[in-house]
Structure 1
């Protein structure tokens, strides 16, 4: 297995996996325009500030991914990375693939000289394992994140 940075050619599988993640988080199929999402994903991948790493198995199949957005903040003293999505196919969870993707993200963050890597983990009881995973991997709690949908 190997972890590689996705190119535009990987947009389709990236979109499929993120759709699976969103369905899982929501508990039902979410409304999703796959064609629009794939076009947007290709545009984002072309930029240096949106990074997708795919975890590829020995058969060449993508079985996990992590997406990171580079941004800046005063509170963090400059550039940071935001983990947007982390997804492993359900049959391969608890096999350390997530840990490998986080390590890749941390290595990338250090190479880019970011000051920190942040992630929002669901605070609901049914997602306690996700939060525990990030804490186990060295993330610290800094409070909940909120969003305003425009």
Structure 2
């Protein structure tokens, strides 16, 4: 299979505070897509809260967001942050959100966003990138994409436990 060549006017930029609105729109759409694919709401994605949180994250040195644009149209986003673990032999990157607008999938945009994430990770001295896919089989295509891009399954499922502040 030949790799799709990204459109010639594709631009990938590290996000700034000026990019908050399109990033929030893309992330909220991603979370809605995952919930629809699973048939249940698994994420809370209040746009106002997400905007506030993103503005704070963009100021953190270990956090980065990359926005893909065709002309002025936002068509993809990838966010990642620095993690630390003994098993990873130090610092590594965790991809938190990653999506390409459905109409633009399969055209090399996701691959180009991953290249930006890899370059950022190398510049930070990270040993690896990690990502959790949405549940299978509903998102088997997502897993296949990651495998084509050099990711390997390295463990079990992602689990969560919500924490409540003490009363």
TM-score, normalised via structure 1 length? 0.94
Following superposition, the deviation at residue 31 of structure 1 comes to: 4.5
1:71 alignment counterpart: 83
1:34 alignment counterpart: 47
Measure the CA separation in 1 of the matches of 2:16 and 2:95: 18
SS at match of 1:18: helix
Q: Which runs of 5+ in 2 are unaligned?
A: 1-9
SS at match of 1:125: coil
Measure the CA separation in 2 of the matches of 1:148 and 1:19: 22
2:92 alignment counterpart: 80
Bigger RCO (CA 8 Å, 6+ sep) = 2
Which residues in structure 2 correspond to 1:1-150 (within 5 Å)? Answer: 1-27=10-36, 31-58=44-71, 60-143=72-155, 144-150=157-163
The structure carrying a bigger helix percent of its residues is 1
Q: How many residues align?
A: 149
Q: Which runs of 5+ in 1 are unaligned?
A: none
Measure the CA separation in 2 of the matches of 1:83 and 1:98: 13
TM-score, normalised via structure 2 length? 0.84
Q: Is the 8 A contact 1:123 1:131 kept in 2?
A: no
Q: Is the 8 A contact 2:14 2:67 kept in 1?
A: yes
Measure the CA separation in 1 of the matches of 2:128 and 2:103: 31
Looking at CA atoms only, which structure, 1 or 2, has the larger radius of gyration?
A: 2
C-alpha root-mean-square deviation of aligned residues, in Å? 1.4
